[in-house]
Amino acid sequence: MSLSITRGAAIALTAILASGCVSKSSLPAISQTNDAATVTIYRSDELQGSLTDVYIGWDDEYFISLAPQQHTQLSVNPGFKTFKIRAHADWSNELALDLSPQQKVCLIAEVNPQNVVGLNWVVSGYRLRQLPCESLTL
């Protein structure tokens, strides 16, 4: 009896985690290559939450995954974008930016300080924060 309860709990946990998983899409094409904004995203190297990749995207799709201390540089069409970040089984967190043509923007993906300490070893929560590009060491 206890084996079937354990098995049932394991199946239920797997189903819950799988239903919240993130899938990546292809990066959208740049329609205005000369006017594209450049967005650099760096993932911090915090120990807490370091067991999972983060997924980052905009317009309700995720395009990039980053492990700790990785970074990427993207060309993004100008205009209003709501960037989103999340881990596999995490709620997304958002950062809204109005990108100007040829603007350079730097973001850092970091563990959300509002997380419950210890809990995000299993279910990590992340946030995006804009910072001056000069302060970003890659």
Asked, for residue 78, whether it belongs to a domain, the answer is yes
Q: Which two tokens stand for residue 5?
A: 């309860």
The pLDDT score that the predictor gives to residue 11 is 43
Strands (E), the chain: 37-43, 54-58, 61-66, 71-76, 79-86, 93-99, 104-111, 126-131
**Domain of 63, in residue numbers:** 24-135
Asked, for residue 93, whether it belongs to a domain, the answer is yes
| Count of structural domains, the chain | 1
Asked, for residue 18, whether it belongs to a domain, the answer is no
Cα distance between residue 67 and residue 36, in whole Å: 26
pLDDT in tens, the chain (138 residues): 555 555 544 444 443 344 445 556 666 667 767 899 999 999 988 766 667 788 999 888 899 999 888 999 999 999 999 999 988 767 788 999 999 999 999 999 988 777 666 555 555 678 899 999 988 776
Asked, for residue 99, whether it belongs to a domain, the answer is yes
Asked, for residue 11, whether it belongs to a domain, the answer is no
The pLDDT score that the predictor gives to residue 60 is 82
Assign residue 51 the CATH number of its domain.
2.60.40
The pLDDT score that the predictor gives to residue 82 is 94
Task: Transcribe 94-113 into DSSP letters.
Answer: EEEEEEPTT-EEEEEEEE-T
The pLDDT score that the predictor gives to residue 46 is 72
Asked, for residue 4, whether it belongs to a domain, the answer is no
The pLDDT score that the predictor gives to residue 88 is 72
- pTM over 0.95? The answer is no
Place of tokens 């990546």: 24
Asked, for residue 15, whether it belongs to a domain, the answer is no
Asked, for residue 6, whether it belongs to a domain, the answer is no
